[in-house]
Structure 1
Amino acid sequence: MSQPLPVISLDQLRTVPLLPLTPPSFAPFGTCITPPVDRSLNQVPSSSPPARYPTHQPSPSLANKNTALKSAPISPLINGYPSSHGPSVPLMSMFSCFPRPASHTQSGKLAIAVLERHPYTTQTFCPLALSSTDTSTCFLVIVAPSLATTTNGVTNPPDLANLKAFVARGDQAVTYGAGTWHAPMIVLGKARLDFVVTQFVNGVANDDCQEVSVEGVDVSLHALPIRSLL
C-alpha cells in the first residue's frame, strides 16, 4: 500500500490569477519554448530575423539551403543525478492528458491538489496537434518556487504563497527547471492533448519524482480564452 503524500497548505485560501505563458514570465521556473518569429511569417525571409524575445531566445539563422530557420539551443537538457545514485538515462515518453471534467471548473476556479518535482532533471512537455489559434482547448502550467525550510518532512517544499499559473497556446512547449515544483499537466476544453515528454531518469522513485498534496490554493479561470466553453 502506498503511503499518503505529505501535505503542504496555506492558512487562508489563495486564488491565483491566470497569466499568459511567455519566455520572460516563465523564466524563473524554466523555459517557455515558443517560435522565434511571428506566426504570420509564412515565407522564408531574405536574411535571419531577430528573435521575438532576444533575452530568452537564440537568434534564428537560415538553414537547409535557405528553406528553414533554425534556432538552437532552445532549452536546456539537464542531468544532475549524482553518480552515487546509479546510472541515469534519457527518456522520451508520451502523456495523453484528458480535459478536466466540467464539475472541476464550473465554479470558475480550479483547485490545485498535487504538486511534484524532479530534483535532478529538467522535464520538457511538447504538445502535439494543437493549433496556436485553437479556442476550444488549452493547457495550464502551474509552478511554484521552493522554500528554504523543511515542512512535514519535505525539504525545500513548494512556496504556495508565490505559486504561479500560466495558460499556454498550442505553439508553445515548456521545460520545467530541475527541482521546480509543478502541477501535473492540466488540459481544459474539448479535446485530449498528447505531449511528448523528455527527461532523465535513474529508476529510483524518490530521485525521479517527489510529490506533495496541496491545500488552500485554487486558480481563477475567468481570464481563460475558452471560458465560455467550459
Structure 2
Amino acid sequence: PNLNLAVQPLTQDAFAEFGTVVENPVSATGRSQQPKVVKANQGSALKYIDVSHVTDYYYLAPSGNPARAVMNMFVCSPRRLQSNSSSSDITQERTSKFPVQILERHPFTPQTFVPLGLAAEDATTAYLVIVAPTCKAMDQPLLYPQHVPKRQRSWTEIFFRAQPSSVDNSTLSSSESSPEPQLPKGPGEPDLTRARAFLANGSQAVTYGPGTWHAPMVVLGAKAIDFVVVQYSNDVGLEDCQEVEIRTETGSDGLNVVIDS
C-alpha cells in the first residue's frame, strides 16, 4: 500500500466504529451521547454507568477453552519517527511519520488501555490509537453471531441494576444512555484504505472493540507511558491475538501516520 494517515483528535463520536473512549464526560468533546450518571458515596461523587464494556465472547472460539479476565501492565517507550520532509526549504512545514508495520486483533475480547501518571495537559508525551475496519469475508464461515444470545443474569448483575436509593446512587437525569456492547468484527482482514489514526492524551483511556484491528501501542514524545490493560484471555495463541504484517512493496511507502513536528 501507499497510504498516509493524518492524525485527528481522539473523540468518542469519531472512534465509535472501533470501540470506546473512556474519559470524564464533563470535559470531553466530540461526544453526542452522554453515559448515564448517578450520585454516589453519600453525594460526594458522580458515578457514570457502563462507560465501556468488557464482554467475554470466547464461547465463540473454536477450542472451547474458557477465558478469564486478566489485567496486565505494558510499559511503552516512545517510538522512533522517520523524517517525512523531502525538501530542504526551511519555510516548508516539517512533519514526521510513523510506519505501521503490524496490525493485530483480539477476536473474542475487547481490550482496554488505561494510561497511568500522564497528565492531560502534558504536551511532551501522548499516544497514538491506530485502527482499521474489518473487510467482509463472504467466502469464509461466519464465526460470530449476528446478535448476542440472551443469558441468565448473575446475582451481581441483578444487584448492580437495582433501582438507586433516595440517599445514594440517585439518578441525575433520565436523558443519558450507555453504549451497547460491540459484537466481534468477524474473520476478515483489515481494510487499510479506511485506516484511521487518533491522538490521545493522559485523560483518556481507550477500549478496542472485540476483533478490532489496531496497531500495537505507539507512544510519542519524551517518556514512556505505563498502561494497565484489561481484557479476557484463554491462553490459546491464535484465539487471544492475531497479527498481520503490512509489507512495503518496491516503490511504495506503505502505511504511515503523518505527524506534525
The TM-score normalised by the length of structure 1 is 0.80
Map of 1:4 onto structure 2: none
After superposition, the Cα gap between the structure-2 partners of 1:134 and 1:105, relative to the gap in structure 1 and judged at 3 Å, is farther
Larger radius of gyration: 2
Shift, 1:54, TM fit? 5.0
For 1:97, the aligned partner's letter is C
1:94 pairs, out of 73, 81, 90, with 73
| Whole-Å separation in 1 of the counterparts to 2:132 and 2:221 | 24
Q: 2:82 matched to 1:105? A: yes
Q: Does 1:220 align with 2:258?
A: yes
What CA deviation, in whole Å up to 9, does each residue of 1:52-107 have, x standing for no partner? 8352x313322111211110111011110127521110000000000013xx2333
Q: Per the alignment, do residues 86 and 163 of structure 1 end up closer, same or farther by CA in structure 2, a change over 3 Å counting?
A: same
* Cα pair 2:12 2:30 within 8 Å, conserved: no
| Code of the aligned partner of 2:223 | A
Q: Which structure is richer in relative contact order (CA contacts within 8 A, separation 6 or more)?
A: 2
Contact between 2:38 and 2:46, CA under 8 Å: does it hold in 1? yes
Query: Alpha-carbon deviation of 1:128?
Result: 0.3
Q: Give the CA deviation at 1:143.
A: 0.3
Match of 1:35 in 2: 24
The 1:150–1:59 alpha-carbon spacing in structure 2 relative to 1, beyond 3 Å, is closer
The residue that corresponds to 2:133 in the other structure is: 145
CA positional deviation for 1:144:
0.3
Alignment of 1:13-24 (within 5 A): 13-24=2-13
C-alpha deviations, 1:133-152, integer Å up to 9, x for none? Answer: 1100000000000111389x
Contact 1:150/1:157 (CA < 8 Å) preserved in 2?
no
* 1:150–1:96 distance in 2 versus 1, CA, 3 Å: farther
CA distance in 1, matches of 2:36, 2:235: 37
Taking only the aligned residue pairs, the percentage that are identical comes to: 44
Separation (CA, whole Å) in 2 of partners of 1:52 and 1:168: 13
**Cα separation, 1, equivalents of 2:229 and 2:242:** 17
Contact 2:137 2:188 in 1 (8 A): yes
> Which residue does 1:45 correspond to in 2?
none
Deviations for 1:158-202, whole angstroms, at most 9, x for unmatched residues?
Answer: 000000000001100000000000000000100100000000000
Offset at residue 34 of structure 1 (A): 1.2
> Contact 1:138–1:168 at 8 Å: present in 2 too?
yes
CA distance in 2: counterparts of 1:147 and 1:52, whole angstroms: 26
Alignment partner, residue 31 of structure 2: 53
